[in-house]
Chains A and B, each alone.
Chain A
Amino acid sequence: NAGVTQTPKFQVLKTGQSMTLQCAQDMNHNSMYWYRQDPGMGLRLIYYSASEGTTDKGEVPNGYNVSRLNKREFSLRLESAAPSQTSVYFCASRTGSNNEKLFFGSGTQLSVL
């Protein structure tokens, strides 16, 4: 009954460092998403994947890359972290049925110094 699992929960990086945020879902959903949440800005879409093997840019993709490794896993990579990428990151997966639902992970709080 895990749903959407994200790791790590917290991360501190120095400017220029790289890291990968991991996400996995056990609900057999096709579509997965990465969002960032900043005060006053709400949730903004970074990248999404409609199905295994496909990825598309969202509203704020610059500075990020993604990999849809398989149906379960969708990772987000910061190649060269910048202070502007300090944020809370959420992974989500979508049912894709007629009765749509979107389920979120518990988030990764990232600080770039």
Chain B
Amino acid sequence: GQQLNQSPQSMFIQEGEDVSMNCTSSSIFNTWLWYKQDPGEGPVLLIALYKAGELTSNGRLTAQFGITRKDSFLNISASIPSDVGIYFCAGFNYGGSQGNLIFGKGTKLSVKP
């Protein structure tokens, strides 16, 4: 079946550093979503992308919909301690069933003050 490969699996960075993570797939997606999950909480939607090449920002977060439609990137600039959490991507493929929403397994971000 379809899979999303998300990397890196984990990151340990210093406060103030920039962060990059990405998701890739062998399949084409029509929509990419990026989420953040804090411990004991549900995933919260950060950014949604709908067009190949689209670049969208939400504060210090910037995400891009890859030109090939098979990948997406999330960057966090000037990280702060509250950025700690698990970030994961999700891709929609309209050509599939209603349930055809694929998730990456997440990138765990740790920030050292």
Contacts and interface: CB of A to CB of B under 8 A. Distances in A.
Interface of A: 4, 6, 31, 33, 40-43, 45, 48, 50, 56, 58, 90, 94, 98-107, 109
A41 B2 CA distance: 15
Interface residues of B, number: 23
B88 interface: yes
A105 B40 CA distance: 11
Contacts of A45: 99, 101
What DSSP secondary structure best describes chain A's contact surface?
strand
B59 to A, nearest CB: 18
Interface of B: 30-31, 33, 35, 40-45, 48, 50, 88, 90, 92, 97-99, 101, 103-106
Contact of A100 (B41, B44, B48, B99): B48
B45 A102 contact: yes
A102 B91 CA distance: 11
A103 B45 CA distance: 7
